[in-house]
Structure 1
Amino acid sequence: MSAKRTERLLTLVIMLLSSRRGFTKEELFEEIDLYREATSVAAREKLFDRDKAALREQGIPLEAFSEDTLFDNDNTVQRYRISAEDYRLGGVTFLPEEYAVLNLAAGVWDQGSLDSAASRALRKLSSRSSDGGTELTPLIQPRITTDAPYWDVVWLALTSRSPLRFPYRAASTGREEVRTIHPWGMGARFGHWYVVGYDTLREAERFFRLSRMTGEPAVLKGTFDVPASFDMNATLSSLSRSEPDRTAVVALRPGSCQVLRVRKDAEVLQTGEEWDTLRVPYAASSPMAATIAGLGVNARVEEPQDLAAQVARLLESAYEAALAAPHGLEITEGIRPVPRRKSSSQDHLLRLLDLVPYLLAHPGSEVGETARKFDVTESQLTKDLDLLFVSGPRHYPDALMDVNIEDGRIYLTNARDLAEPVKLSMDEACSLIVGLQALRELPGMRNNEAIVSAQTKLTAAAGDAAHIGTAVATKLTEDDIDPTLEVLQAALQTGVRVEVDYFVPTRDEITHRLLEPIRIFLHQDTWYLEAWCVDSDGLRNFRLDRIQSASLTDQPATANVDEASLARGRRSASPYRSGSSDHAVTLVLEPRARWIADQYNADAVEELGEDRLAARLRVASTSWIPGLVAGLGGGAAVVGPEDLREETLRWLQAARAHQRLA
């Protein structure tokens, strides 16, 4: 990050905002010392062209015009300015409770493309909020991820209204074809991101799942109009999961295989001392085969035969991968660092343009509090303040800002031109508008007055950028989860215990639990309940889709939970808790199974070449690991510890033999 370039850009903004008449290049070069440091006239011109592009890229409305229309195309007589009306955020203010829900809306974005945009938007609006100290601890914490393949490219095409071309493998045919669309909207549902638009080949509106794109999309030249009636929220609601259209007959050992017994519309055909027979509906053979393979010797497919053959192939492939797995592999790269996005001069400039109106709106702000607000160290904040002090035209009287720090508090004056925050950009508006929509869709929050009023004000303040609210949408809960969510939220609101029947796949049983709910959170498209388990006398996480029934009791929740531990857990939002008695398990993951490292919160990974990954997991029990690798059909193999490796080999060998006897 170049402090000199940031200073030059900031000074340029200050000057271009200060005059309606604008400035010629020569006048700007004369007033801004850092342009005169260029090694040649050509270098100075190039520097200026880069700076203009950088400001426009950040949504700052830099205008170029001529006072004489005869010379509109003559760069030598052009003047430059920034229209204060187009630059400044509208005169909207937020009540403390409204700003609190905006905080929640910004917090729904997981680290990714719109996470930083949400932070920037919140930063801008902080100068438009009265400081009431209102903080909301959400009872339900949704998360929206943007880690789908090619998300950024599709977003660029959507926001620029440019056609998009990409290779795509259709789920219905399995064929790969090149498709060209006019992207009208993007949406997330069922754990996947979709782009919706006009398919130029089919000449009709179509859905495309980003994870089925088989290569890098290309943004094409040209533009298009989006139908006025298009609304991504309504379009996303029309999308449905594949309904079960096949039936399997499976033999199960009595008391086992609860994962199949609790399936919707599963039917017991016969019971016996050695085997029960179950008819199970399913939609796709691959996930069904993986589930049955993971049950090992406790299940076998009676019909259809193609499903039985697929189960056998998975077990065979898993066994071969287990035999071929390396011995004595140790991960040496250590714990994965959290990736940090590199900061650029443009990022730095935006932070400074947000810092000025914040300090003017909050005179006497504490250094430490302000640094936390802007997610920088106190040392970096001090450097930012120093940069503000020296930025501005040198030859104008009283043109520089005054920055003083007294007793750890910041006072800023003489910054009239930067007193208002920059208008929200497209991605900033999207992050908060879609975040508020996601909150508003959750049970118990659909009629929240603060959310409704904040959304109305935000839409007005965003101006033209607000139209993105109809182009991007998410649906984070489904009908099968909503009733459980409502019961658990009622328990949180009233502070009572709940009774649940809970399916534990690692033990293949359904247990009855008495719980004291603490919070509900979404992790990778799966909802979890964090609760104090009275029976286990400890904190536990429970998947909502495994709760078979939930009912309120009249018993008050009384557990004394460590708030510091809860705060750490809320920041990480991971469903997996580590403990001193946990076991370390090292797996080798093929490319198609790399998701295991993230899904199970691996504490260390190491690249092995050819896109293979070694991952170390911390697990409370290892009993479920053989079933996991069986269902992956060669996508993963246990390499440590050695006793688990041998146990998995024996498990897979027995499962193979069992299937051959079926």
Structure 2
Amino acid sequence: MSASRTERLLNLLLALLNTRVGLTRAVLREKVYHGSAENDVAFGRMFERDKVELKQFGFEIETLTEPGFGGEDPATTRYRIGKDSNRLPDVSLTPAESTVLLLAAQLWERAALGNAAASAVRKLQASGGFSDVDLPAGVQPRIKPAGQAFDDVVAAMHSRHAVRFGYLAGSTEREEEREVEPWGLGSRFGQWYLVGFDRGRGAKRIFRLSRMTTAVSVVSNSSFEPPSGFNARAELDALNELPLQQAVLDVDPGRLLALRKRAISVEEAAGPGSRDRLTVDFRDPDQLAEELSSYGPHVKVTEPADLRTAVVRRLEAAAAFNAAPPLPVVFPEAGPAPRARKRTSEDQLARMLQLVPFLVHHQGLHIQEVADHFGISRKALIEDLKILICSGLPEGYPDDLLDIQWENDHVYITEHLDLNRPVRFSGDEAAALLTGLAMLGDLPELAGLGEDPEQNPLESVIIKLTGAAGEAARMAGTVSGQSVAPRQSQAFATVTQAIKDGRQLHLSYLSPQRDTVTERDVDPLRLFSLDSVWYLEAYCHSRKGLRNFRLDRMVDVEQNGRPVSGEVTAGQDFPARLFTPGEDDVYVVLELTRQGAGIAEDYYAERTAALPDGGLVAEIRFGNADLLPMFISQQGGAARIVEPPELRTAATRWLEAALSQYGGRSPQDAPAG
């Protein structure tokens, strides 16, 4: 859709919204289309396409026919859109409810539902019912959906298209192609699952996204209808947790303190050259295999067989990918290339439908503040405003145009032509907010919100949003997440209190990568999470800089009796970064598969270049080059080192040493899948 079509659609919308009796095709062709169609046939096709486009934005066009006429007579049939058509009902939120909603919206770190959540919040802000609030004690919970597969499945699920993907079957450990009608997504036991109808088997099945071996492709020539009343949470509640098992691991003496910390038994090495034998409880072989593969040659799985197979499979895939022929690296001149699809005119029109009501309720904002709010450049905002001020009713008189001024860089709107309310939530927007709210249920920081202790702001905001979402609320049943409450409740409480009181903390902290426990005095700044794993962002006095500390790696944490130094304050970026750049960082160029492309965002790539297969080449900073072999082996074939060659060689040797414990083949002989 071109910019001219954006303007035409906006004018068509305004014309149909601002007529009580309706407008005929002849009037619309003359006043809105201005001769852009060569003849009646071309105009008819254009008008029908535009009606479909407006319907996708949620505006139902009424067709009014004259009494006595049996069909749709082009000469007499009139069209209009009701003023309340698909408008977001008024939603007034208290500060406590706004806080809860903001936490829910920011849960989605990125991916399709992250954009949907941000759009939904902008609609509430545009309607004037959302209070500006600060998050409690710097707490920023968030979840990390399962990479590109999550986005692809969400898109197919809401467009009602089947999907096709390669899948490693748990029963046979063989890769099979599956064609599935995606009914819903949900998170259980630390993994994301797809619930759907397996067309090949003719029955409902549940698939784990981490076991998908290929990119998800959409079967666009087919559609489906999910079962009436489908609810992903109810389906996954019936999913049984895997039984508890024990892994027997041979570990180099003095290494892998994190693994030793949770071992239920340790047999010391019998003599020089031998290894300690650890027994560790686990439930999910794939989850433990991801960790164990990162340890490379420092650990060997003795039993059980399925865990051993999972580790070897990841190591072989990593070795094969890392040994693939080098590819030329050409980065675009400007910064990271975005993974998200290019902004289109559809995005521009959707933004305008939020921009007008936002300006109505926020008169006189600085133009840069408006641009920042919508996540666009000042130039892009001015382009939007120029289209808006040229848009209006068919008569074309000055009083029939949208009236917006931005003199002295402050934006005012005095005529909105009934665009003063945003459109209703889409299915994605409702799912993002309502699913996010459900995941906050056990978060400790919600307990103290609200002036009335008898009223739960989480419950009240869910009721309000469910009513406002209307039919779209049913889409929330297609996505289900788990609680983001911290497992380390005592450490969470201690850290939260120190942030509130402005007091320093003393940490005994375990670093699995360096196999050491260090003592740190830190100024606590804010807490943030990925799923249920919580991090503390703090100024470390021994390292003289910002660092992030996982709560589950804190051996001990307590206030040290001193106030925070005030050396630094919490960053304004959201989400808080897991990696803080330093002067001694190593620049590494990685090739990422389509499934692993999210690594570029996770590690804040300096530059990226898209590959034809959907993968990426990414230049990423690492604080310690010695940890790169661990990183590559943990990715299990989703990432490989392209440059510098000495680090690629180091990773190859690490993987060869790890595989040699299992009688492994050379990387050139290992399978790539």
Q: TM (normalized to structure 2)?
A: 0.81
Q: For 1:451-600, what aligned pairs fall within 5 Å after superposition?
A: 451-475=458-482, 477=484, 480-482=487-489, 484-523=491-530, 526-547=533-554, 549-553=555-559, 555-563=561-569, 566-567=571-572, 570-571=573-574, 573-586=576-589, 597=600, 599-600=602-603
Paired residue secondary structure (1:50): helix
2:147/2:596 contact within 8 Å kept: no
Q: For 1:101-180, what aligned pairs fall within 5 Å after superposition?
A: 101-129=100-128, 133-136=132-135, 139-145=138-144, 148-151=147-150, 154-156=153-155, 158-159=157-158, 168-175=167-174
Give distance in 2, aligned partners of 1:117 and 1:290: 31
- Residues 378-406 of structure 1 show CA distances to partners (whole Å, capped at 9, x for unaligned) of 44434433333332234276422333445
Give distance in 2, aligned partners of 1:50 and 1:222: 23
Give distance in 1, aligned partners of 2:92 and 2:48: 36
Any stretches of 5+ residues in structure 1 without a counterpart? none
Give distance in 1, aligned partners of 2:653 and 2:8: 68
1:96/1:132 contact within 8 Å kept: yes
Paired residue secondary structure (1:86): coil
Paired residue secondary structure (1:562): coil
Paired residue secondary structure (1:84): coil
Q: Corresponding residue for 2:345?
A: 345
- Residues 12-53 of structure 1 show CA distances to partners (whole Å, capped at 9, x for unaligned) of 112211233322212222332x34232222222222111111
Paired residue secondary structure (1:185): strand
Report which stretch shifted further, 477-486 or 371-380: 477-486
Paired residue secondary structure (2:85): helix
Change (3 A) 1:163 1:225: farther
Report which stretch shifted further, 530-539 or 8-17: 530-539
Q: 2:623 aligns with which of 620, 640, 648?
A: 620
Change (3 A) 1:300 1:91: closer
Change (3 A) 1:242 1:357: same
Q: Is 1:196 paired with 2:203?
A: no
Q: Corresponding residue for 2:412?
A: 411
Q: Corresponding residue for 1:436?
A: 437
Q: For 1:217-236, what aligned pairs fall within 5 Å after superposition?
A: 217-218=218-219, 220-227=222-229, 231-236=231-236
Give distance in 2, aligned partners of 1:572 and 1:70: 60
1:124 corresponds to which letter in structure 2?
K
- Residues 162-181 of structure 1 show CA distances to partners (whole Å, capped at 9, x for unaligned) of 77776654323335667676
1:96/1:130 contact within 8 Å kept: no
Q: Corresponding residue for 2:395?
A: 395
The structural deviation recorded for 1:82 is 0.8
1:99/1:129 contact within 8 Å kept: no
2:436 corresponds to which letter in structure 1?
G
Give distance in 1, aligned partners of 2:646 and 2:121: 51
The structural deviation recorded for 1:302 is 5.3
Change (3 A) 1:560 1:267: same
Q: For 1:203-352, what aligned pairs fall within 5 Å after superposition?
A: 206-213=205-212, 214=214, 215-218=216-219, 220-227=222-229, 231-236=231-236, 239=239, 242-253=242-253, 255-263=254-262, 265-270=263-268, 274=272, 275-283=275-283, 294-295=294-295, 298-300=298-300, 336-339=336-339, 341-352=341-352
1:248/1:282 contact within 8 Å kept: no
Change (3 A) 1:482 1:61: farther
1:139 corresponds to which letter in structure 2?
G
The percent identity for this pair of structures is 34
Q: Corresponding residue for 1:25?
A: 25
Give distance in 1, aligned partners of 2:194 and 2:653: 45
The structural deviation recorded for 1:57 is 1.0
Change (3 A) 1:447 1:231: farther
The structural deviation recorded for 1:653 is 6.9
Give distance in 2, aligned partners of 1:633 and 1:401: 55
1:457 corresponds to which letter in structure 2?
K
Change (3 A) 1:573 1:80: same
2:111/2:145 contact within 8 Å kept: yes
Paired residue secondary structure (2:13): helix
1:104/1:138 contact within 8 Å kept: no
Report which stretch shifted further, 584-593 or 526-535: 584-593
2:393/2:401 contact within 8 Å kept: yes
- Residues 2-21 of structure 1 show CA distances to partners (whole Å, capped at 9, x for unaligned) of 33322221221122112333
Give distance in 2, aligned partners of 1:19 and 1:312: 68
Give distance in 2, aligned partners of 1:159 and 1:627: 38
Change (3 A) 1:555 1:346: same
Q: Corresponding residue for 1:12?
A: 12
1:143 corresponds to which letter in structure 2?
R
Change (3 A) 1:75 1:138: farther
Give distance in 1, aligned partners of 2:437 and 2:242: 28
Q: Corresponding residue for 1:55?
A: 54
Change (3 A) 1:574 1:408: closer
Report which stretch shifted further, 483-492 or 299-308: 299-308
2:559 corresponds to which letter in structure 1?
T
Give distance in 2, aligned partners of 1:321 and 1:420: 52
Q: TM (normalized to structure 1)?
A: 0.82
Give distance in 2, aligned partners of 1:310 and 1:582: 32
Instruction: Provide the aligned C-alpha RMSD in A.
Output: 4.2
The structural deviation recorded for 1:414 is 3.7
2:625 corresponds to which letter in structure 1?
T
- Residues 328-353 of structure 1 show CA distances to partners (whole Å, capped at 9, x for unaligned) of x8776575333464333333223222
Give distance in 2, aligned partners of 1:438 and 1:330: 41
Paired residue secondary structure (2:381): helix
